[in-house]
Chains A and B, each alone.
Chain A
Amino acid sequence: MLIIGERINGMFTDIGDALRNKDPKPLQYWAVKQEEGGAHYLDVNSGPAIPTEERVAAYEWMVKVIQEVSELPLVLDSTNYNAIEAGLKVCKRPAIINSCPVEQVKIERVFPMAIQYNAGLIGLTMDKQGIPKDAENRVAFAMELVAAADEYGLQMEDLFIDPLILPVNVAQEHAPEVLESLRQVKMLANPAPRTVLGLSNVSQKAQDRSLINRTFLAMAISSGLDAAIMNANDDELVDVAATCQILLNRSIYADSYLKVFRAR
């Protein structure tokens, strides 16, 4: 189970300010803190804090300052593929591109880029029309991403399918469909593609977010989730990820398994 720390995102005020002021400290603080929490990857997203024309330079800068304090590999999160490419060029370790929907133009741009930079790729089960409601259509989109990976020669293990979870308070019927999608995606190819979710989405503007997040995380992992973009500093949430490793027989049990999971 890979934990991708979500905190370095321009939507948060401290990161947004840091990006505008070119102040590396908040980015570096969260890089270290998320690693301590249990993150295996760091998501890097400028959000709308930076004007479009400055994004390319911003991503290069973000990657550089984060790598000054952290060895963790990065997940470059943007819809601006030039910005992602600028980031990939300075990444010291194989990164993950976040993300590519099922749109031919984008597939043609992003899959070759993933190959070129030896990067993983998060593929979204949606197209221009948006996110499908049912598992069947999500899986159909996933199959197109799998076929693209096969065509471009991207290793199936480097493709992360994101079946897109939506907030439970306004799109409640999506959660079971996402769980079913996770199960079916694993049968599309052998070896199977990996799976990822933007976990915190499930609890947007809902009560008891942490409880919702960790309950859904356990359900999703048991359905086949391999990675989650999530709050790596929610200790109870990380404990759930660690416990799932034990209960799915992926890590050998030890009394100190929570500690072992974080120590890696």
Chain B
Amino acid sequence: MALTGLDIYKQLPKKNCKECGVPTCLAFAMALASGKAALDACPYVTEAAREALNSASAPPIKAVKFGKDSVLGDETVLFRHDKTFYHPTTLLIHVSDTLSDDELRVKLQEIKNLEFERVGLHYSIDGVAVVNDSGDARRFAQVAAEMAESTDKSLVLLSEDPQAVKAALVQLVSRKPLIGAATAANYEAMVNLAKENSVPVIIRAEGLDALNDLVEKAQALGYKEFVLDPGSRTPVETLANLTHLRRLAIKKKFRPFGYPVIAFTGKSEPLEEIMEASIYVAKYASAVVLKTSSQAHLLPLMTLRQNIYTDPQKPIQVEPSLHSVGNVNENSPLYITTNFSLTYYSVEGEVETSKIPSYILPIDTDGTSVLTAYAAGKFEPEKITEAMLACGIADKVKHRTVIIPGYVAVISGKLAVLSGWKVVVGPRESSGIVSFSKTLSLS
């Protein structure tokens, strides 16, 4: 976002000396805001002001990358309907180094199982967070190494002890893990460790004021690859913190909070934990660390993440392949519609209600509705004929009748000629399908 005249004016010396060639600092600020002047024309602007003006034109939340393709931050809105959320929440499974080797094997297998195919999409877990609960640096490094060995996913290394993190990190630098947490007690060692190894680091403090202080101190060490943790571990506090952090970063361009945020669940009962994590996915957490790793718990959370991070401006599409409703057989009718999800599911719902097992073939219209697609030349007899051939419906049914939406009755003749099928014009609205289907004769 461009700087406003007021933002710039506040950083100027207010001497009104005219040395920049403009009568007042106020007028100079406006000239800068409209791009008619350069800041260098003012000999009195301080280094701090220059820095403030430069960073004010940076994106509100920094993008922080780590591990295997994990991108945190780089968001611009508070509500997805205003634009979209860009980077889906990174989901990480908590792995404690107090687990025995046997328990570790079980955990690892569970993590490997967190891959899902659903409605034509692939969901997967993003990584593991190895936590140094044992207090033993050697064990921590050992478990971290084992995790790195057995999975290629992103890694987070968590310990209060910089020496422990260092020991674990040395062997894994090439995996670019996220490390942490830098706290008031250890931030110098932890941030310098991150800086030396070019890995991002979690900055943790209790509450927003303390976090603000700590981020500024950490920035003073000359490093800016941060992920914030406001320290809260209850849903109500974390929700408030996540909201404040996102709001201050975007609305007020508050630079110390211009970093992605990581959330840790506090609930230990898995169903409660998933509800808690759902809040954080919906409300601005860039990463969430979870204790549960069972498929039943993670699938709904990953589905929610998928839904929240879809682009509301783009129409949602269904796969343009032959769908079946109920136990279809060789006598099942064939309905044609478009692959716009609203259109498709309206048809599917009514076909389901008709209780007649049926095939539905959504034509790929780039996710547009019947009339929109027709007007744009994306729902024409040639294309429908092609799709009917490609899906192999002719081998699945013994009749040769296809039902088209009532609003495109005009294409029925040409479609009949091209496809060789009998074309029946269905009702204009899908709500008419139930009564229509009762009178339908396929012979």
Residues on A lying within 8 angstroms of B by beta carbon are 139-140, 143-144, 146-147, 150, 187-190, 192
**Which residues of the other chain, A, contact B1 by a CB distance below 8 angstroms?**
190
In contact, A187 and B33 (Cβ under 8 angstroms): yes
Is B9's beta carbon under 8 Å from chain A?
Answer: yes
Query: A140 near B4 (CB under 8 angstroms)?
Result: no
Cross-chain contact A144 with B6 (CB below 8 angstroms): no
Known: A143-B26, A143-B30. A187 touches B7 (CB 8 A): no
- A189 near B6 (CB under 8 angstroms)? yes
Q: Which of B5, B27, B253 contacts A188 (CB 8 A)?
A: B5
Contacts of B6 in A (CB 8 A): 143, 146-147, 150, 188-190
Any A CB within 8 A of the CB of B318: no
- Beta-carbon contact of A139 and B4 below 8 Å: no
User: 24 interchain pairs (CB within 8 A)?
Assistant: A139-B30, A140-B26, A140-B27, A143-B5, A143-B9, A143-B26, A143-B27, A143-B29, A146-B6, A147-B9, A147-B26, A150-B6, A150-B10, A187-B4, A187-B33, A188-B4, A188-B6, A188-B30, A189-B4, A189-B6, A189-B7, A190-B1, A190-B7, A192-B4
Q: A189-B6, A190-B4 are in contact. List 16 more A-B contacts (CB 8 A).
A: A139-B30, A140-B27, A140-B30, A143-B9, A143-B30, A144-B26, A147-B26, A187-B2, A187-B4, A187-B5, A188-B4, A188-B6, A188-B33, A189-B5, A190-B1, A192-B4
Q: Which of chain B's residues have a CB closer than 8 A to the CB of A144?
A: 26
Task: Please give, as numbers and ranges, the residues of chain A lying within 8 Å of B30 by CB-CB distance.
Answer: 139-140, 143, 188
Q: Which of B372-390 contact A (CB under 8 A)?
A: none
User: Mask for B1-44, Cβ within 8 A of A = 1, else 0?
Assistant: 11011110110000000000000001101100100000000000
Chain B: residues with CB nearer than 8 A to chain A? 1-2, 4-7, 9-10, 26-27, 29-30, 33, 253
Q: Which residues of B contact A187 (CB under 8 A)?
A: 2, 4-5, 33
Report the separation of the CA atoms of residues A189 and B5 in the bound assembly, to the nearest whole angstrom: 6
Residues of B within 8 A of A150 (CB): 6, 10
Instruction: Give Cα A202–Cα B1 distance, bound, in whole angstroms.
Output: 34
Residue of A nearest to B5 (CB): A188
B253 cross-chain contacts in A, Cβ below 8 A: 190
A192: chain B residues within 8 A (beta carbon): 4
Taken together as a complex, chains A and B put the C-alpha atoms of A140 and B31 apart, in Å, by 10
Give chain A's interface secondary structure class: helix
Contacts of B7 in A (CB 8 A): 189-190
CB closest residue in chain B, given A186:
B4
CA distance A33 to B1 in the complex (A): 44
Residues in B with CB closer than 8 Å to A190 are: 1, 4, 6-7, 253
Contacts of A139 in B (CB 8 A): 30
Q: Tell me the complex Cα distance, A190–B254, Å.
A: 13
* CB-nearest residue of chain A to B30: A143
* Complexed CA–CA distance, A139 and B27 (Å): 10
A143 to B27 alpha-carbon distance, docked (Å): 8
Q: In the assembled complex, which residues on chain B have CB atoms less than 8 Å from the CB atom of A189?
A: 4-7
A184 to chain B: closest residue by CB: B34
Inter-chain contacts of B10 with A (CB < 8 A): 150
A188 — which chain B residues lie within 8 A by C-beta? Answer: 4-6, 30, 33
Q: What distance in Å separates the Cβ of B26 from its nearest Cβ neighbour in chain A?
A: 6
Give Cα A146–Cα B26 distance, bound, in whole angstroms.
Answer: 10
Ranked nearest first, the 5 interchain pairs of A and B with the lowest CB-CB distance are A189-B6, A188-B5, A189-B4, A190-B4, A143-B30
Measured CA separation A140–B27 after assembly (Å) = 7
- Chain B residues lying within 8 Å of A143, measured Cβ to Cβ, are 5-6, 9, 26-27, 29-30
Task: Tell me how far the C-beta of B248 lies from the nearest C-beta in chain A, rounded to whole angstroms.
Answer: 13
Q: Which residues of A contact B4 (CB under 8 A)?
A: 187-190, 192
A146 and B10 CA atoms in complex are apart in Å by 11
Q: How distant is the Cα of A143 from the Cα of B7 in the complex, in angstroms?
A: 11
Bound together, the chains give a CA A52 to CA B5 distance in angstroms of: 39
Q: B29 — which chain A residues lie within 8 A by C-beta? A: 143
Q: How far is it, in angstroms, between the C-alpha of A144 and the C-alpha of B33 when the chains are bound?
A: 14
Q: How far is the CA of A140 from the CA of B33 in the complex (A)?
A: 12
Bound Cα distance A247, B85 (Å): 25
Question: For A140, what are the chain B residues with a Cβ–Cβ distance below 8 Å?
Answer: 26-27, 30
Q: Name which residue of chain A comes closest to B1, CB basis.
A: A190
- Tell me, in angstroms, the Cα distance from A147 to B30 when the chains sit together: 11
Q: Taking each of A139, A140, A150, which has the highest tally of chain B beta carbons within 10 Å of its own beta carbon?
A: A140
Instruction: Report Cα–Cα, A187/B30, bound state, in Å.
Output: 10
C-alpha gap A183/B78 in the complex (Å): 24
Q: How far is the CA of A146 from the CA of B30 in the complex (A)?
A: 12
Q: Residue on A with the closest CB to B3?
A: A190
A232 to B10, CA, bound (A): 40
State how many angstroms separate the Cβ of A224 from the closest Cβ of chain B: 14
Distance of B56 from chain A, by nearest CB (Å): 10
Query: CA A140 – CA B36 in complex, angstroms?
Result: 14
Q: How far is the CB of A147 from chain B (nearest CB, A)?
A: 6
Chain A residue at minimum C-beta to C-beta distance from B23: A140
Determine the distance from Cα of A239 to Cα of B149 in the docked complex, in whole angstroms.
68
Minimum CB–CB distance for A137 against chain B, Å: 10
Give complex CA distance A190, B250 in Å. 11
Give complex CA distance A143, B2 in Å.
16
Q: How far is the CA of A182 from the CA of B115 in the complex (A)?
A: 53
Which A-chain residue is minimally distant from B33 (CB atoms)?
A: A187
A192–B6 CA distance with the chains assembled, in angstroms:
10
The residue among B2, B9, B30 with the most chain A CB atoms within 10 A of its own CB is B30
Closest to B2 in A: A187
How far, in Å, is B216 (CB) from chain A's closest CB? 22
Q: Within the complex, what minimum Cβ distance (angstroms) separates A155 from chain B?
A: 13
A52 to B424, CA, bound (A): 84
- Distance between A146 CB and nearest chain B CB, rounded to angstroms: 6
Chain A residue nearest in CB terms to B253: A190
CB distance from A152 to the nearest CB of B (A): 13
Which residues of A sit under 8 angstroms from B33, Cβ to Cβ?
187-188
Question: A138 CB to closest chain B CB, in angstroms?
Answer: 12
Cα(A144)–Cα(B6), bound, Å: 10
Whole-angstrom CA separation of A147 from B10 in the bound complex: 9
Q: Name, among B5, B7, B9, the residue most crowded by chain A CB atoms within 10 Å (CB to CB).
A: B5
Q: How far is the CB of B300 from chain A (nearest CB, A)?
A: 30
Smallest distance from the beta carbon of A135 to chain B beta carbons, Å? 11
Cα distance, A148 to B2, chains bound together (Å) = 22
B264 to chain A, nearest CB (A): 33
- Nearest CB on B from A104, distance (A): 13
